[in-house]
Amino acid sequence: MLFNKLNLNPKLLRGIAERGYTEMTDVQEQTLAKTLKGMDAAVQSQTGTGKTAAFLVTLFENMLNGETPERRKALIIVPTRELAVQIEGEARLLNRYIGFTIGCFYGGVGYDAQQMLLKKGVDIAIGTPGRLLDLSEKGHLKLKDVGCLVIDEADRLLDMGFLPDIKKLLQKMAPPHVRQSMLFGATLNRVSRKIAADYLNRPVLIELTPEQLTVDTITQEIYHVKSHIKANLLVGILQKEKPRNALIFVNMRHSAFKLAKKLDLNGFRCRHLSGDLPQVKRQRIIDDFMAGKFPFLVATDVAARGLHIDGLEMVINYDLPQDSENYVHRIGRTARAGNSGKAVSFACEKFSENLYGIENLIGMRIPEKTAGVEMFATDRSLEFELKHRAQRPWSGRSKPSPGLHRDSRHNAKPGAKWGPNAAVTV
């Protein structure tokens, strides 16, 4: 069904058309059929199927038809700053001819600008639980004014330990029957369903592909490879397949920095994204990656959660995730909105034990690929490292004896001189 067949406000339809939305996806069609009538909904649909547009169109249309100003306020709760910023961007595109005030609220930045924005008045607030709760407790965010509520990526919010904050936020709002609420997630577990039952008003349950957590348009494959040659295989795959862009996942933030540097030294323009980077820098890296200023991004799960990247060709699990559901979220970054994509995973001795849980969750065996010798490329970063070490000047007062390890200096007897004839204890 086409968006222009819906009986929507002309200003909203114009924004939808300019955004490039034409035909509705399954989740959009099924959700809008209920939510445009004012019904609450709990929606399970895999990543990349168009959930964001489903709830934004609902919010805009129902707010435009609102009877009182108090009921015009909308709140969207999300798990990460990155997702908040991306939803804000989508909302601003649809808002082009409407004129609502949209605000984004998350931690890691100062309060002043966010407080000033709330003081002026915000129609649609998008934010993370912790910052929203802080602003509410300080009296800046009036949760009783919320007439439209969206809880996005509810499964991830719960995984990240936000359940207490979410309950506090919901308890501060008007009762469910005087607001419209929507809850979305790639999976709806027992806790998500309990939240929907307790805090939504008789929600309709919409489950799309409940047994299939990965989309058919993602080509999945896995290589069994030793840790010390994973980088060689990664470089070889990138050289052979020449993806236009790729998002590469690792499990630890120090690994993200090291791998991005290694790829850069091998001639692949690359940056890294991890939770310890300042928020301003993280957002700039995300914006540049999405704008195509560099083609490869190495990231951890926390940093990359919620990234919506149009046209991402490949996801690479350099490290298999320890949380099986993170595999679904990772590979869901590609093959979005009906496009195709590829997900390549490495199973090394450190993380191969995670494979059983992943395959059990997705209900399939990931096709195994054998990496022949021709698949492995030379890791040029090692040449740079050896050259750098050779050129690094010795920082001590005198060079150690060629016949002694530099650490043996710490074992010298008191009063002994450092040199070829120095006495050392072994």
Candidate CATH numbers 3.90.420.10, 2.60.120.260, 3.40.50.300, 3.20.20.60; the one for domain 218-383: 3.40.50.300
pLDDT at 339: 74
Is the pLDDT at 405 greater than 80? The verdict is no
Q: Quick one: pLDDT at residue 402?
A: 44
Please answer whether residues 204 and 39 qualify as being in contact, where contact means their C-beta atoms are separated by less than 8 angstroms.
Answer: yes
- Give me the pLDDT at residue 335, please: 72
Of 173, 210, 216, give the one whose Cα is nearest residue 192: 210
Residues of the chain with CATH 3.40.50.300: 3-207, 218-383
**Under a CB-based contact definition with an 8 Å cutoff, are residues 312 and 341 in contact?**
yes
Residue of 283, 233, 225 whose CA lies nearest to 80? 283
Average pLDDT of the chain to the nearest whole number: 84
C-alpha 386: how far from chain center: 35
Q: How confident is the model at residue 388 (pLDDT cuts 50, 70, 90)?
A: low
Single pTM value for the model: 0.64
CATH class of 3-207: alpha beta
Q: What is the pLDDT of residue 415?
A: 37
pLDDT confidence bin for 72, thresholds 50/70/90: confident
Residues 333 and 274 sit within 8 Å (Cβ to Cβ): no
Dist CA 344 CA 223 (whole Å)? 8
